[in-house]
């Protein structure tokens, strides 16, 4: 039942540290977070154990991923992780598992966009623009192109591999995402360099 992603294991502490810094000023509040494309569930239970002030809603389109998330919740006895829900981020926000407008303090999408068609990226930003509270944050993590350029060579090769697997996949461009954010009432606040040529992009709802 419990799926294991070595990439998730390698990235979880670095991501926890970024999240901790982003939410530190609100750590005295009770926050609500949504994870899009939760995958195995490793990230969300790791964050829950270290950030008890956030209640997390994990989600995934795949049933096997949702089963794995349930298994991680059971194994770690995570009290602040809700039952995983089916959520297709390319769909309009009204179909996002019944989440009301302005209900989330933070939305995270880890290694989702490069494995998705552009309609998913559009959906992530449109949906986040509706579901985030004012001043709420969207954090995306993964490898990116910048101004149409992909560096280093390992990311270029990854982009080619992804496009061979599915012509609609590939590394998203930071500038395109910045525009998508702007069109949906958000602005890109930070781009944080992460290990293995990845980045965290942080967008704030205005």
Q: In this predicted structure, what is the pLDDT of residue 169?
A: 96
Judged against a pLDDT cut of 90, whether residue 85 lies above it is answered with yes
Q: Report d(CA 41, CA 71) in Å as an integer.
A: 8
Q: In this predicted structure, what is the pLDDT of residue 1?
A: 85
Check if the beta carbon of residue 177 is closer than 8 Å to that of residue 125: yes
State CA 58 to chain mean position distance. Answer: 10
Domains annotated on the chain, with CATH:
6-205 (3.40.50.150)
70: helix, strand or coil: helix
Query: Using one digit for the tens of pLDDT, what is the confidence trace for 112-157?
Result: 999 999 999 999 999 999 999 999 999 999 999 999 999 999 999 9
Q: Report d(CA 143, CA 77) in Å as an integer.
A: 32
Q: In this predicted structure, what is the pLDDT of residue 107?
A: 98
Query: Using one digit for the tens of pLDDT, what is the confidence trace for 48-60?
Result: 999 999 999 999 9
Q: Residue 101 carries which DSSP code? A: T
Query: Using one digit for the tens of pLDDT, what is the confidence trace for 15-52?
Result: 999 999 999 999 999 999 999 999 999 999 999 999 99
Q: In this predicted structure, what is the pLDDT of residue 162?
A: 96
User: Which spans in 59-152 are helix H?
Assistant: 63-76, 118-131
Q: pLDDT confidence of 173, banded at 50, 70, 90?
A: very high
Check if the beta carbon of residue 1 is closer than 8 Å to that of residue 74: no
């Amino acid at each position: 039942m419990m799926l294991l992603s070595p990439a998730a294991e390698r990235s979880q502490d670095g991501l926890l540290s970024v999240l901790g810094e982003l939410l530190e000023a609100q750590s005295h509040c009770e926050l609500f977070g949504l994870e899009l494309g939760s995958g195995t569930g490793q990230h969300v239970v790791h964050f829950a154990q270290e950030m008890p002030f956030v209640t997390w809603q994990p989600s995934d389109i795949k049933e096997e991923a949702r089963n794995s998330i349930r298994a991680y919740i059971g194994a770690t006895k995570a009290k602040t992780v809700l039952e995983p829900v089916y959520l297709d981020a390319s769909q309009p926000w009204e179909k996002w598992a019944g989440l009301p407008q302005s209900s989330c303090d933070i939305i995270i999408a880890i290694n989702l966009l490069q494995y998705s068609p552009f309609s998913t990226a559009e959906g992530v930003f449109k949906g986040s623009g509706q579901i985030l509270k004012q001043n709420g944050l969207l954090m995306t993590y993964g490898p990116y192109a910048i101004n149409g350029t992909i560096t280093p060579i390992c990311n270029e090769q990854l982009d080619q591999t992804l496009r061979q697997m599915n012509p609609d996949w590939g590394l998203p461009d930071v500038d395109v995402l910045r525009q998508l954010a702007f069109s949906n009432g958000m602005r890109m606040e930070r781009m944080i360099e992460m290990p293995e040529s990845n980045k965290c992009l942080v967008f704030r709802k205005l």
